[in-house]
Structure 1
Amino acid sequence: MKLIWSPDTATKAYIDTVRSCEVFQESGVAELVSAMAAGWNAEFIVETWSSGGVIATSIGLEIASRHTRGRHVCVVPDEQSREEYAAAMKEAGMEAEVLVGEPEEVMAGLVGVDFLVVDSKRKDFARVLRQARLSHRGAVLVCKNASSRNASSFRWRSVVDCGSRRVVRSVFMPVGKGLDMAHVSSSGGNLESGTGENKWVKHFDQRSGEEHVIRK
């Protein structure tokens, strides 16, 4: 079974996030990410967060998990971040599961992630993406604050397993401080051949260096 897009669920999550995040700056990121997670019916949502980070995205992800009846986990680096995160979420009337530790280490124990949000401001964000144990259904990976990173040093294909998985599509959106998103295929799928609705075509973007796999 693959991730299947549900526009109705996405819309409901978007509206609820608008209502909950209207007091936050850059809430547009939260609304979009919430709608994406809910629309893909994400069963296991994971994010990374550290002290001083914007809480609106976390609120959006928690709202999405309620609509999909899924699990939302936030990975923080230390106790200070955990306490700050929990207090901010409580003030917003939300609760979320929080795990403390170095993100790339904690990720090794989280199996079946199908929606992952990392902060590009953190130096270890690429390692977190590599360590993620993605769902067999496929996954959506999101880098927020993507405009702040060195674009020439990051490629989605460098953080996604080149074995049975491929980046189906990737897109950069000028929302907030930049959202870079990638849809990763389900495991074991054949992305290079087939007929009818199962035919896939590869396209290499000369400008970004990304390999896109498009379903026809």
Structure 2
Amino acid sequence: MMFKHAAPVAIVLAAVAIAASAVPGRAEKAVAIPAPARDAPPTPGMQTAVLAGGCFWGMEAVFEGVKGVRSVVSGYAGGTRDTATYAAVSTERTRHAEAIRITYDPRVVSYGTLLRVYFSVAHDPTQVDGQYPDSGPSYRSAIFPQTPAQRMVAQTYIAQLSNTRAFAKPIATKIEAGGFFPAEAEHQDFARRNPNHPYITRWDKPKVAAFKAAFPALVG
């Protein structure tokens, strides 16, 4: 469903109400999962991580609150630059995923720790081509490693979580390649600028609250 960004408020409220009763989700609580058995070593300077897990509004809101994260940018990953626009991505024919680019200090928060938050509370990694009320490949669960070390950590962590059956369903998260292209200005810091938007209050505020409850030591 693409109602969240463009529809009038009355339509959004109705759609969110229907989705809340009809679509299963776990936005209200984190899933208890172990830390990665293998992580990337800390390095000097800032690093970037690119993660996709449904609507970028909520992903951005969660990771903006992680200690050691310097900035989070909403955007599109996995497709080409010329179709990296909301209008084009909404057609579900561009191969992009709504994603975020995280700039973080690896001496404060590791890549593996970011992935733990990603899998535990930022989204549901068992949903295929969708998250909660939103459906389509642009809402898929995908990791876009920026370095060989990140790829290694992501691969081994997915295997670890799968082998320990951390989730009741198979993990759908894919490891992909492709560039990241920032989204339009209206989508940046959306949750912070629109705290009472019905989509934010139903789906994203609960995730932020769940993150703070499950990972108090990571709250920045």
Global fold match (TM > 0.5): no
Question: What TM-score, normalized to structure 1?
Answer: 0.31
Which one has the bigger helix percentage? 2
Which one has the bigger strand percentage? 1
Q: Which has the higher contact order (CA 8 A, sep 6+)?
A: 2
Question: What TM-score, normalized to structure 2?
Answer: 0.30
